[in-house]
């Protein structure tokens, strides 16, 4: 089977969608399929290249608005594709519509994975989102041969997927790369004095991730440190917040971490926290990486994110409530045996539900079903 993946951004651009498309493409190739990716081109990236067997084509952006690449030539590219099936990933917007139009022009079946809803702040932002979804964004979902959502709770609460027939297939994690046997001693020795407990956040430093709430949670605890792995436009504001709260000795901005070292950071810490506050966070691959590493999770009680665990693998807390995060941290930090048991159950859950072996086969079965109708 020849599969074309269409995504607004792709590796090395950092994000959940990009990580998902890369992992899915690599594992579909392992299943014997030919996979290519078409995406936007930015900076001085090559127009074409091959990565781990994936043929990548990067097309020039006509314009970029609010970190959204508008690549009109994707329609023509998809129209000319020799792929058997087109798999479109959304958001950011526009790419999905161009790709869907191209697939319809070519008479190619296509699948849309709706990773999360669009969200812009304020009245004007809501108006823009509603206009786009009504007049532009609805087309790919209506015309797709299948629409995939990553969780039940997100699909049932999404205005975008209001009356769309959705198939739920979760995100996945590399359970070989993230595992309970990784050695985090170097990282722990560097940041934890006298075996002081550590919490870990991994992700882009942007407002909807709830990092400010997480930092404030430390004011409700008497010990422990927080490692923040990642970078983003919100960093300066967060650094100032740490200074204001006098938490400079307890909050460490690690910055971006090389892929080689990331599993070690998970292994070094005692709890992984995802305190997101917005529907822009529809799943949280970080949670899967934490569970695969045998660590208990603390997740916001928002659609999508809450589905990652069954509450036997960590705690689901009220979003925007630093005291709730602090209480969960204290429970984990004060009961190491319980925390280890949570981590063990988390690893079992990931192996059963969220491995790439399972998820890629589930998506493969959808493609096969569509092509054999």
Residue 87 β-bridge partners? 5, 111
pLDDT tens string 170-222:
999 999 999 999 999 999 999 998 889 999 999 999 999 999 999 999 999 99
Q: For residue 9, what pLDDT is reported?
A: 95
Give the domain ranges of the chain: 2-172+355-371, 185-353
pTM reported for the whole predicted model = 0.92
Which of 7-21, 110-124, 341-355 is predicted least confidently?
110-124
Give me the mean pLDDT over the 127-144 stretch.
86
Peptide bond into 91 cis (omega under 30): yes
Sequence-ordered strand ranges (E) for the chain? 2-6, 34-41, 48-51, 54-60, 63-65, 68-70, 85-90, 110-114, 146-149, 166-168, 198-202, 225-229, 251-255, 271-274, 297-300, 314-317
Per-residue confidence band for 239, with pLDDT thresholds at 50, 70 and 90: very high
Q: Which CATH class is domain 2-172+355-371?
A: alpha beta
Q: For residue 257, what pLDDT is reported?
A: 94
Give me the mean pLDDT over the 73-95 stretch.
96
pLDDT tens string 276-319:
998 878 788 999 999 999 999 999 999 989 999 988 999 999 99
Quote the mean pLDDT of the chain.
Answer: 94
Q: Residue 12 is inside which H or E element, if any?
A: none
Give me the mean pLDDT over the 120-128 stretch.
77
Q: Taking 90 as the threshold, does the pLDDT of residue 42 lie above it? A: no
Q: For residue 48, what pLDDT is reported?
A: 96
Q: For residue 354, what pLDDT is reported?
A: 96
Q: For residue 221, what pLDDT is reported?
A: 96
Q: Taking 80 as the threshold, does the pLDDT of residue 248 lie above it? A: yes
Q: For residue 132, what pLDDT is reported?
A: 82
Using left for φ > 0, alpha for ψ between -120 and 50, and beta otherwise, residue 251 falls in beta
C-beta separation of 264 from 184 below 8 A: yes
Q: Taking 90 as the threshold, does the pLDDT of residue 122 lie above it? A: no
Burial (CB count <10 Å: 0-12, 13-18, 19+), residue 193: exposed
Give me the mean pLDDT over the 356-369 stretch.
98
Sign of the alpha-carbon torsion through 159, 156, 305, 259 = negative
C-beta separation of 268 from 184 below 8 A: yes
CA distance 21 to 360: 11
Q: Taking 80 as the threshold, does the pLDDT of residue 267 lie above it? A: yes
Using left for φ > 0, alpha for ψ between -120 and 50, and beta otherwise, residue 63 falls in beta
Give me the mean pLDDT over the 344-356 stretch.
97
Judge whether 2-172+355-371 and 185-353 match in fold.
yes
- Fold classification of 185-353 is Rossmann fold (3.40.50)
Annotate 30-69 with b (16+ C-beta within 10 A) or e (fewer): eeebbbbbbbbbeeeeeeeeeeeebebbbbebeeeeeebb
Q: For residue 135, what pLDDT is reported?
A: 77
Q: How many CB atoms lie within 10 A of CB 86?
A: 25
CA distance 241 to 44: 35
Q: Taking 80 as the threshold, does the pLDDT of residue 121 lie above it? A: no
Q: For residue 56, what pLDDT is reported?
A: 98
Q: Taking 80 as the threshold, does the pLDDT of residue 82 lie above it? A: yes
């Amino acid at each position: 089977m020849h599969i074309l993946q269409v995504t607004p951004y792709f590796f090395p651009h950092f994000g959940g969608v990009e990580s998902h498309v890369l992992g899915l493409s690599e594992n579909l190739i392992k299943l014997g399929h030919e996979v290519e990716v078409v995406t936007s081109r930015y900076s001085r990236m090559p127009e074409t290249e091959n990565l781990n067997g994936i043929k990548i084509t990067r097309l020039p952006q006509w314009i970029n608005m609010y970190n959204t690449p508008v690549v009109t030539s994707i329609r023509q590219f998809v129209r000319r594709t020799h792929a058997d099936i087109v798999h479109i990933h959304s958001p950011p917007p526009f790419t999905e519509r161009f790709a869907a139009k191209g697939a319809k022009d070519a008479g190619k079946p296509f699948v849309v994975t709706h990773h999360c809803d669009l969200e812009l702040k304020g009245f004007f932002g809501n108006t823009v989102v509603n206009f786009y979804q009504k007049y532009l964004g609805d087309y790919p979902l209506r015309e797709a041969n299948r629409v995939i959502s990553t969780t039940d709770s997100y699909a049932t609460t999404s205005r975008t997927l209001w009356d769309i027939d959705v198939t739920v297939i979760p995100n996945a994690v590399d359970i070989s790369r993230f595992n309970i046997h990784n050695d985090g001693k170097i990282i722990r020795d560097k940041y934890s004095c006298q075996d002081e407990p550590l919490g870990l956040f991994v992700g882009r430093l942007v407002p909807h991730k709830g990092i400010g709430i997480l930092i404030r949670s430390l004011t409700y605890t008497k010990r422990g440190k927080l490692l923040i792995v990642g970078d983003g436009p919100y960093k300066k504001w967060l650094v100032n917040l740490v200074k204001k709260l006098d938490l400079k000795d307890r909050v460490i901005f690690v910055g971006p971490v090389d892929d080689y070292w990331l599993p070690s950071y998970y292994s070094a810490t005692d709890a992984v926290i995802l305190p997101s506050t917005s529907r822009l966070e529809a799943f949280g691959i970080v949670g899967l990486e934490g569970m695969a590493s045998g660590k208990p999770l603390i997740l916001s009680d928002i659609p999508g994110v809450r589905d990652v665990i069954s509450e036997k693998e960590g705690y689901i807390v009220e979003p925007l409530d630093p005291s709730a995060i602090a209480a969960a941290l204290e429970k984990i930090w004060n009961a190491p045996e319980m925390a280890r048991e949570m981590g063990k159950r988390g690893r079992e859950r990931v192996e059963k539900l969220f491995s790439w072996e399972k998820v890629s086969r589930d998506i493969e079965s959808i493609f096969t079903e569509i092509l054999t109708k």
